[in-house]
Structure 1
Amino acid sequence: MNQLPIGLVFPGQGTQKEGMGAAWRESPSWDLTAEISEVTGEDIPRLLLHTPGEQLRRTDLAQLAVFTVAVIAHAEAVRRGALGGRVVACAGHSLGEYAALTAAGALTVADAAALVAVRGRAMRDAAEAREGTMGVLVAAPLAEVETLVAAVRASGADVWIANVNSPGQTVVSGSPGGIDALDAEAPAIGAKMIRLQVGGAFHSPYMAPAAETLRRALKNAPFAPTHLPVVANADAEPYTGDCDWPELSTRQLTSPVLWERSVATLTGRLGCRRLVELGPGRTLAGLVRRIDGDTEVVSLDSPDALDVQPDASEET
């Protein structure tokens, strides 16, 4: 009997909600909140249990909250033997890449948390310095979105592709005027714009100041020389330590998250037969089903979910 090869995937900012840590409070892995509090200077238990939802939208707090729940979920799944297979690779969406690096053994929880704190504060500062926003264009092919974004930018508006999430779902980022212009033109390609309630134009050149701040922190981060493959957002390529993670992680802030291609790398080249989403919500599971309907995907978003995983062994 061999265990099914699985990939672990971790969600990003936007999946946070008020009281998101309550379900995990009684689990042994809740002890990680003390460690993360110490290295970040934030009261993580309070953040996960008592911070109002509106305040949790603040970029730096949202990122710490989502990261913490993701690493708790992973630690608890490992402790209970609930992953249901042999982990062969990891990936995370935007912020989720730091939880993926932790799960893969590239960073310790403490080192990753410290980087998440720097990243969140730097992105918040950059957003406050230059107003920006984001939206999702749905129901249009990527090639047509790319053409439209290029045309709107050529007209003088600041707008860029921020996330290529799945077929028919592309996130755009830029100035409020740029997003307004895309919204007005979206029907021309059969697309609909859904505005996102975010604090800035993430994954765009507007984040260049944050990228420079993060670069300095990343240069001193002790990445392990070898680890499980992690598929990088910046190029959808898998890396096992033979790479420049500081450069890849810095580039991620100002370039698109190539999630659709990343999932294809996991299920194709890396041979993942099941993807397991760890952290708050089930956003990534929905995207995976749109990208590759033949790959099984499960979301371990609560302790109860850890108790109902099927046996994932397969005959040799």
Structure 2
Amino acid sequence: MKRIPIGLVFPGQGTQKAGMGEIWRESPSWKLTETISEATGEDVSRLLLHTPAEQLLRTDLAQLSVFSVGVIAHAEAVRTGVLDGAVIACAGHSLGEYTALAAAGALTVEAAARLVAVRGRAMRDAARARAGTMGVLVAAPLNDVEELVRLLRSDGAEIWVANVNAPGQTVLSGSAEAIELAADQAPSIGAKAIRLQVGGAFHSPYMAPAAEALGHALNTTVFAPAHLPVVANVDGEPHAAGSEWPGLATRQLTSPVQWEKSVRTLTGRLGCRRLVELGPGRTLTGMIRRITPETEVASVDSPDAPGSM
């Protein structure tokens, strides 16, 4: 019998929470915390078990914690055979792209962890140098949000589209004043504004210094020449050559995350009939159901995930 084609998806920053590793600590794949700790110089076990929630808001710690849980969840899913199908592609939301690259065989876990550590520190430093924030506009069509952003920028506001997550869910990034202006004008396009508690204006030109620092690390990292296709955030297109990723991942820091397009690529052109989210929470599962309700979707956010997916 032909196996169902599966796409694996991995969440990003914002899904972290205190004690998020507790449910995984008795699993055999927990030993990966030692691997990641050695690669990054961080005590990942302590990070996942004992770090307070307010400290996990720090960009570099949030990213490393979410990456680590995603890697453990994937390793356990492979070890236990719960992925009852043929994995044909991967994708990750923002930070999750690095977990996807490891799962696809483009990077070793150690190499991906080192890049995540560099990325998190570079983004933290860029945010300290140039303060910014993010907000979500819910319920408005993307075209209307883009027009609102264009009008605000024509008046001098520093604001950009940061994430196109799903129909009626667009994230904006920029100065605190610009995000407030967008929130005030959201009702004019039928949108509701939600402020995000984040440490910077991610996926915007504010992250240019971080992109420069990360670019150097990416260019000195060994990627596999060929690997399982990973759909990139910056263009929503599948890429299966390691040589492409230094450029794609550098651009990702200052470009919008094209998540809706990425999901449509996975389920359309690539033919994934089931998408499985691996890592903390079920944020991507909710987005996928809004993007393509007909697609089968499942989550592996604990070792107690169903026996097959």
Q: TM-score, normalised by structure 2?
A: 0.99
Partner of 2:108: 108
- Matches of 1:146 and 1:243 in 2, distance apart? 32
| 1:148-197 deviation per Cα after TM superposition (whole angstroms, max 9, x unaligned) | 00101111110000000000000000000000110111110000110000
Alignment of 1:73 with 2:73, yes or no, is: yes
CA contact (8 A) 2:134 2:198 kept: yes
Counterpart amino acid of residue 104 in structure 1: A
Partner of 1:174: 174
Counterpart amino acid of residue 36 in structure 2: I
CA contact (8 A) 2:106 2:242 kept: no
- Matches of 2:104 and 2:241 in 1, distance apart? 10
SS at match of 2:226: coil
CA contact (8 A) 2:234 2:257 kept: yes
Which stretches in structure 1 are left out of the alignment for 5+ residues?
A: none
Partner of 2:136: 136
Partner of 1:272: 272
| 1:272-297 deviation per Cα after TM superposition (whole angstroms, max 9, x unaligned) | 00000000000000000000000000
Alignment of 1:237 with 2:234, yes or no, is: no
Structure 1 vs Structure 2 CA RMSD: 0.7
SS at match of 1:230: strand
Moved more, 238-247 or 217-226: 238-247
CA contact (8 A) 2:223 2:243 kept: no
Partner of 2:193: 193
CA contact (8 A) 2:4 2:86 kept: yes
Q: How does 1:29-48 map to 2 (within 5 A)?
A: 29-48=29-48
How far apart are residue 2 of structure 1 and its match? Answer: 1.2
How far apart are residue 242 of structure 1 and its match? Answer: 6.2
Partner of 1:96: 96
- Matches of 2:193 and 2:128 in 1, distance apart? 24
Partner of 1:155: 155
Counterpart amino acid of residue 204 in structure 1: S
Alignment of 1:298 with 2:302, yes or no, is: no
The count of corresponding residues between Structure 1 and Structure 2 is 309
- Matches of 1:23 and 1:173 in 2, distance apart? 33
- Matches of 1:53 and 1:242 in 2, distance apart? 35
Give runs of ≥4 in structure 1 deviating > 6 Å: none
Counterpart amino acid of residue 53 in structure 1: A
SS at match of 1:97: helix
- Matches of 2:17 and 2:307 in 1, distance apart? 25
SS at match of 1:222: coil
Counterpart amino acid of residue 30 in structure 1: W
SS at match of 2:54: helix
Partner of 1:281: 281
Determine what percentage of the aligned residue pairs are the same residue: 72
Counterpart amino acid of residue 274 in structure 1: R
- Matches of 1:7 and 1:145 in 2, distance apart? 29
- Matches of 2:15 and 2:307 in 1, distance apart? 22
- Matches of 1:149 and 1:298 in 2, distance apart? 34
- Matches of 2:202 and 2:193 in 1, distance apart? 17
| 1:198-228 deviation per Cα after TM superposition (whole angstroms, max 9, x unaligned) | 0000000000000000000000110000100
How far apart are residue 244 of structure 1 and its match? Answer: 1.7
Counterpart amino acid of residue 247 in structure 1: G
Partner of 2:84: 84
| 1:247-274 deviation per Cα after TM superposition (whole angstroms, max 9, x unaligned) | 1000000000000000000000000000
How far apart are residue 309 of structure 1 and its match? Answer: 3.5
SS at match of 1:102: helix
Partner of 2:262: 262
How far apart are residue 144 of structure 1 and its match? Answer: 0.3
| 1:36-67 deviation per Cα after TM superposition (whole angstroms, max 9, x unaligned) | 00111100000000000000010000000000
| 1:108-132 deviation per Cα after TM superposition (whole angstroms, max 9, x unaligned) | 0000000000000000000001110
Partner of 1:18: 18
Counterpart amino acid of residue 183 in structure 1: A
How far apart are residue 243 of structure 1 and its match? Answer: 4.7
